[in-house]
Chain A
Amino acid sequence: MKILMIIPAYNEEENILSTYNSIVEYNKKNKTNYDIVVINDGSKDKTEEILVKNKINHIKLVQNLGIGGAVQTGYKYAYEHGYDVAIQFDGDGQHDVNYVKKIVEPIKNKKANMVIGSRFVVDDASEFKSTKLRRVGINLISFFIKIKTKKKIYDTTSGFRAVDKDIIELFTTEYPSEYPEPISTVNVLKRGYKVDEVPVEMKPRTGGVSSISKFKSIYYMINVILSIIIMKGKRK
């Protein structure tokens, strides 16, 4: 099975190399063969320099697109190169490569088309659970996804996820530019695909700044909920 790890990176000079190295080391140790593509989303720091110097496979976006457009580029790359599974993996050190096997498992067993690495499935799955305000927001979004799709998704904003070939193809044409994680999940569910959640641990960021500041999170939440409510009921 050909597996690709898509790592979006915007101004990640502090974290990108260690994230990359952790995957390379994991591959060596476990004799796995996870390919990597870093999407440099028009970084203004030394991210590109680091990527070139270390010969890391990457696509440099000619201008900043934001997380949705960057990740979608990764899915297009996966589609063009015939990957069976694509994994979205943050470049900031929050995600742990040791859990990749776990989130690919349900796809391998044909039990799911999309698997979300979740912080909240089991109560004590993760030391790092995000801030209180964010958890309230995540729960609210979860509630609206349940109403819309009848499926309970616990960690709606997790950027750690694996998708199969069908979803890779879907995402090349339909991937939201804004609030991609919850919105794409709803789209996948509405089309009748199976989504599974697997508990993972996440670490606090090791450096850099998160893409969502505290100030913006309420605005984020309102937008996401509104988008979910008005989404058209598409079916396969």
Chain B
Amino acid sequence: MSNTLIIALIVFSVVWFIIILRCIRKETISIRYSLVWFLMALTLLFVGVLPGVMEWIADGFGFETISNFVIGISITLLMIITLALTKIVTTQKNQIKILTQEVSMLKKNKNN
């Protein structure tokens, strides 16, 4: 892995970390949902700081280059996050449906 990539990874993960922290402070992301994003930032940082270890692990998994391994991990994490989000959206859609129905029925009773 080239030095440029290592520096880019470290800078990116640190910036990413700060962005998530700020979101939590502003309460635009709850701690519960931020954990997986922190995990992602940590993984990238780990790759940047200890490329040797990562190279060894990547080799063990059969990746030819460490950058492919980084992409592989990132995509896997993104898939997990997206699936979780889809589940949350579906649950909330159902909750909104029930709320809409109940509010509309209450409003009808009030007007009668």
Residues of chain A at the chain B interface (Cβ within 8 Å): 58-63, 65, 69, 72-73, 76-77, 80, 177
Contact = CB atoms under 8 A, between A and B. Distances in A.
Given A62-B100, A177-B93, 20 more contacts: A58-B108, A59-B104, A59-B108, A60-B107, A60-B108, A61-B101, A62-B103, A62-B104, A62-B107, A63-B100, A65-B97, A69-B97, A69-B100, A72-B97, A73-B101, A73-B104, A73-B105, A76-B101, A76-B105, A77-B105
Contact of B105 (A59, A65, A177): A59
Nearest to B101: A73
Q: Is the interface of B mostly helix, strand, loop or mixed?
A: helix
Contacts of B100: 61-63, 65, 69
* Contact residues on B (Cβ < 8 Å of other chain), bracket: 10 to 19
Given A59-B108, A60-B107, A60-B108, A72 B94 contact: no
B28 to A, nearest CB: 24
Contacts of B97: 65, 69, 72, 177
Contacts of B93: 177
Interface in B66-112: 93-94, 97, 100-101, 103-105, 107-108
